[in-house]
């Protein structure tokens, strides 16, 4: 199938997004970037990530919020009032997908469970993003990225080479789970083309990330009985990190035998090609600490620029170890137009992050800037058939809210 130019691949998909923070908003933004109509439903105080992720030119528009909520419209409803709840049910009835990351007791209090919504919408896809699976003893516990980094053993991996356990300074569990949410929703959309009917999805963040950590590091304990200890030593060694040069750091990886032999040529150390500890992958596994130590001592002899040029000559994978600031100045980032300056209606000039994925016949574009709380409340209420007087009455009664 060939898409017509400028056709939105998901243009007929309507999503009612009740999520906040990172995992849900990032997932729904991906779908929005490919044309889904995403209505972000917020309480009067708005998504928490508006407020805990730094300052902004106007309140509640943090950079992190803006980078995960473009191409959405925002409506603010009070689901605790009769009129607010009734309006929500109208929105849910016309949506293809409802996605939330609320805890079960909150859903029950509000009466917006899968059973309640699928009765009104018999083809609804209802996605629960939860910290822990409903069948386990941790079900309905609160979960944040740091909690799950620790709980999935990710934080402990730093301690395998003598350091303290620590968090990756990036909400890696949330971001990764968001991709799993997107995948699950797309699968459900496709499944409905073959067999219509309501579908409930559960994406448990703890189990989802635990499978990734275990698949990476279960290693010899994948077998019963174990053939070796857990943990990939290529990743856990103390020198499995950016390598110090005379004036900075460089990132380098050599996995194949051909790459390692080329590295020895780059070092002007052809004698190492005959070293049985290093010249075959199966042997390097048992001597990885020695290999990394050797690499570190050789790299330390020259400056970063020298190694970038030298390693490139031998087609050895390498990059400078960027800071956040220098990453913005990377020439490749400029070549592909990943970061683009745009004018936001209220925030002035912003750095807009374009979608890096390309697709025949479609280029994701910015249709809506990240919204203020309830920025589109009136517009969306009108679309579901409410008149101006009705909308005004809801706003006055506190059933709905709009941005100032």
pLDDT in tens, 123-141: 999 999 999 999 999 998 9
pLDDT value of residue 5: 42
The number of distinct structural domains making up the chain is 2
In a domain, 53, yes or no: yes
Q: Is the per-residue pLDDT at 231 higher than 70? A: yes
Q: Is the per-residue pLDDT at 374 higher than 60? A: yes
Same domain, residue pair 377 and 307: no
Same domain, residue pair 163 and 272: no
Q: In whole angstroms, what is the distance from residue 333 CA to residue 349 CA?
A: 19
Q: Is the per-residue pLDDT at 279 higher than 50? A: yes
Mean predicted confidence (pLDDT) in 300-318: 97
Same domain, residue pair 62 and 190: yes
Same domain, residue pair 131 and 41: yes
Same domain, residue pair 195 and 103: yes
Q: Is the per-residue pLDDT at 282 higher than 70? A: yes
Query: Which CATH number is 204's domain given?
Result: 3.40.50.10540
Choose one of 320, 342, 358: the last residue of a domain: 320
Q: Is the per-residue pLDDT at 4 higher than 50? A: no
Q: Is the per-residue pLDDT at 294 higher than 80? A: yes
In which band, very low, low, confident or very high, does the pLDDT at 404 lie, cut at 50, 70 and 90? confident
pLDDT value of residue 321: 97
Mean predicted confidence (pLDDT) in 62-80: 98
271 DSSP 8-state letter: G
In a domain, 236, yes or no: no
Question: First-to-last CA distance in the chain?
Answer: 45
- Mean pLDDT of the residues in the chain: 96
In a domain, 6, yes or no: no
Mean predicted confidence (pLDDT) in 49-67: 97
In a domain, 66, yes or no: yes
Q: What are phi and psi of 357, to 5 degrees?
A: -80, 140
pLDDT value of residue 6: 55
Same domain, residue pair 306 and 362: no
Domain ranges, residue 255: 243-320
Helices H, strands E: what count in the chain? 17, 12
pLDDT value of residue 208: 98
In a domain, 337, yes or no: no
Same domain, residue pair 35 and 124: yes
Contact 143, 206 (CB under 8 A): yes
215 DSSP 8-state letter: H
In a domain, 76, yes or no: yes
Same domain, residue pair 159 and 283: no
Same domain, residue pair 106 and 252: no
Mean predicted confidence (pLDDT) in 6-29: 95
Q: Is the per-residue pLDDT at 213 higher than 70? A: yes
Same domain, residue pair 205 and 309: no
Q: For tokens 């934080």, what's the residue?
A: 155
Mean predicted confidence (pLDDT) in 269-298: 96
Contact 20, 64 (CB under 8 A): no
pLDDT value of residue 56: 97
Q: Is the per-residue pLDDT at 293 higher than 90? A: yes
Same domain, residue pair 301 and 360: no
Q: Is the per-residue pLDDT at 391 higher than 70? A: yes
| Predicted structure pTM score | 0.95
Same domain, residue pair 66 and 160: yes
Q: Is the per-residue pLDDT at 230 higher than 90? A: yes
């Amino acid at each position: 199938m060939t898409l017509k130019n400028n056709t939105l691949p998901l243009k007929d998909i309507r999503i009612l997004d009740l999520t906040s923070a990172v995992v849900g908003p990032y997932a729904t933004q991906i779908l929005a970037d490919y044309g889904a109509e995403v209505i972000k439903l917020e309480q009067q105080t708005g998504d928490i990530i508006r407020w805990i992720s730094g300052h902004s030119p106007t309140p509640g528009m943090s950079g992190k919020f803006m980078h995960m909520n473009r191409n959405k419209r925002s409506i603010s409803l009070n689901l605790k009032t009769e009129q607010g709840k009734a309006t929500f049910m109208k929105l849910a009835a016309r949506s293809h997908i409802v996605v939330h990351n609320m805890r079960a007791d909150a859903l029950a209090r509000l009466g917006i469970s899968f059973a309640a919504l699928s009765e009104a919408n018999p083809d609804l896809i209802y996605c629960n993003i939860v910290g822990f699976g409903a069948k386990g003893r941790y079900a309905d516990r609160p979960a944040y990225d740091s909690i799950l980094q620790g709980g999935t053993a990710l934080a402990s991996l730093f301690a395998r080479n003598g350091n303290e356990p620590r968090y990756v300074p990036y909400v890696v569990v949330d971001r990764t789970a968001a991709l799993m949410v997107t995948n699950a929703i797309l699968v459900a959309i496709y499944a409905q083309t073959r067999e219509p009917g309501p579908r409930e999805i559960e994406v448990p963040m703890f189990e989802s990330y635990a499978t990734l950590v275990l698949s990476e590091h279960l290693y010899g304990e994948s077998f019963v009985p174990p053939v070796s200890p857990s943990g990939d030593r290529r990743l856990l060694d103390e020198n499995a990190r950016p390598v110090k040069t005379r004036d900075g750091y460089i990132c380098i990886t050599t996995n194949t035998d051909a790459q390692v032999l080329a590295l020895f040529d780059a070092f002007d150390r052809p004698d190492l090609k005959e070293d049985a500890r290093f010249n075959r992958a199966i042997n390097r596994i048992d001597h990885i600490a020695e290999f990394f130590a050797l690499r570190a001592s050789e790299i330390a002899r020259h400056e970063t620029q020298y190694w970038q040029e030298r390693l490139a000559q031998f087609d050895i994978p390498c990059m400078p170890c960027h800071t956040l600031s220098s990453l913005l100045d990377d020439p490749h980032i400029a070549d592909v137009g990943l970061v683009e300056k745009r004018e936001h209606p209220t925030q002035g000039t912003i750095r807009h992050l374009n979608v890096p994925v390309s697709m025949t016949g479609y280029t994701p574009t910015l249709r809506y800037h990240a919204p203020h709380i309830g920025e589109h409340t009136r517009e969306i209420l009108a679309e579901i058939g409410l008149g101006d007087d009705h909308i005004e009455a809801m706003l006055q009664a506190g059933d709905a809210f709009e941005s100032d």
